[in-house]
């Protein structure tokens, strides 16, 4: 399948990553069809692509277009919420989309959270996941979705996606600022792989039009960063006069467990700032090997940059 004239469907188009994929696909001249959970979106968000509302936990709303490829960005990206809803979005939803486009190449945007959350992830290769145990429904359900697609899709595993329109990573970092302190877990020297939304979009388009129809690929920026360096860069770009302060994971994890229990007892729909998933996610090294994507897909990521973060 070549990268010239193509017809693609993008799910999750009303969200952060899906909207960016739509805009890039339209800019490339591809005939693009956008699907999202919201009833409507601003035309600019999907670059004018035809948009239809679709709750993917249910069958599609009527006849669907014939496309060459599906870029599946839809799903639950939260580490907090009713497990049944998260499983429905990430597993049932993925199965529904794959069944709705049986003849199209299927590109599935997964997550690095499918790697073992209970030990450091050090330059992990794709064969190190899925694993048997996860700390929450998010990681478990994304792993189950990958297994449901085994041998029938291209699976992309980004880590800590950031950039214009980010609704998860940057808001969580900023929520940890208290006065002139940004509280984080670990010692600040742990290395992390980040994925700019631009790099993830680049990988999605390569996967949709490239030389293979199946495979699993880690997708990150070219090189990992030291956590303290990343946090300080974000603070500078946001113009915040704050300093990172680090707390040992062994002290924070029990507090996170108590916080989660309290929020559940209160039946709060608002996620707590502190969760065991968030603690484990950044307290130790989380780095990925991207050599397979570079070799097979021709993936050439741009360097990490927080330029413009003041406007995100």
Q: 243-261, pLDDT tens digit by residue?
A: 999 988 888 888 888 887 8
Closest by Cα among 41, 24, 141 to 93: 141
b/e 230-250 (16+ beta carbons within 10 angstroms → b): bbbbbbebbeeebebebeebe
- Its CATH class, for the domain covering 7-306, is alpha beta
Closest by Cα among 172, 152, 262 to 215: 152
Dihedrals φ, ψ of 222, to 5°?
-60, -40
Indicate the pTM of the whole model. 0.93
- The full length of the chain comes to 312
Region 203-230: mean pLDDT is 97
- Residue 251 to residue 255: CA distance in whole angstroms: 7
Please report the sign of the dihedral spanned by the C-alpha atoms of residue 158, residue 130, residue 155, residue 109: negative
Cβ atoms of 28 and 52 closer than 8 Å: no
Closest by Cα among 116, 147, 9 to 73: 9
| Lowest model confidence (mean pLDDT) among 36-40, 181-185, 204-208 | 181-185
Question: Is pLDDT of 3 > 70?
Answer: no
Q: Which two tokens stand for residue 93?
A: 């939803």
Better-scored residue on pLDDT, 35 or 279: 35
Domain boundaries along the sequence of the chain: 7-306
pLDDT score recorded for residue 91: 98
Label residue 80 by pLDDT band (50, 70, 90): confident
With residue 11 as reference, give the H or E element that holds it: strand 7-11
Question: What are the residues whose beta carbons fall under 8 Å from the beta carbon of 188, sequence distance 6 or more?
Answer: 226, 227, 228, 231, 244, 246
Region 199-227: mean pLDDT is 98
């Amino acid at each position: 399948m070549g990268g010239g004239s193509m017809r693609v469907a993008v799910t999750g188009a009303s969200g952060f990553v899906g909207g960016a994929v739509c805009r890039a696909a339209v800019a490339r001249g591809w005939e693009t069809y956008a699907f999202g959970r919201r009833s409507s979106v601003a035309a600019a968000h999907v670059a004018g692509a035809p948009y239809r509302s679709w709750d993917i936990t249910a069958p599609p709303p009527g006849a669907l277009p014939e496309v060459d490829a599906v870029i599946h960005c839809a799903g639950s990206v939260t580490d907090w919420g009713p497990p049944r809803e998260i499983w429905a979005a990430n597993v049932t939803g993925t199965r529904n989309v794959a069944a709705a486009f049986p003849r199209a190449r299927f590109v599935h945007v997964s997550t690095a959270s499918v790697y073992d959350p209970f030990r450091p992830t050090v330059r992990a290769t794709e064969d190190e996941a899925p694993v048997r145990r996860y700390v929450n429904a998010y990681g478990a359900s994304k792993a189950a979705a990958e297994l449901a697609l085994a041998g029938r899709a291209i699976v992309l595993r980004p880590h800590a996606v950031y950039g214009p329109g980010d609704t998860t990573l940057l808001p969580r970092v900023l929520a940890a600022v208290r006065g002139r302190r940004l509280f984080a877990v670990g010692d600040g020297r742990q290395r992390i792989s980040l994925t700019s939304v631009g790099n993830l979009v680049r990988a999605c388009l390569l996967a949709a039009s490239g030389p293979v129809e199946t495979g699993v690929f880690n997708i990150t920026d070219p090189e990992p960063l030291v956590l303290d360096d990343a946090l300080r860069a974000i603070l500078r770009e946001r113009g915040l006069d704050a300093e990172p302060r680090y707390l040992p994971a062994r002290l924070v994890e029990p507090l996170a467990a108590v916080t989660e229990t309290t929020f559940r007892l209160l039946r709060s729909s608002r996620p707590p700032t502190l969760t065991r998933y968030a603690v484990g996610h950044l307290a130790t090294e989380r780095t990925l090997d991207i050599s397979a994507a570079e070799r097979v897909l021709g993936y050439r990521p741009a360097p990490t940059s927080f330029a413009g973060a003041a406007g995100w």
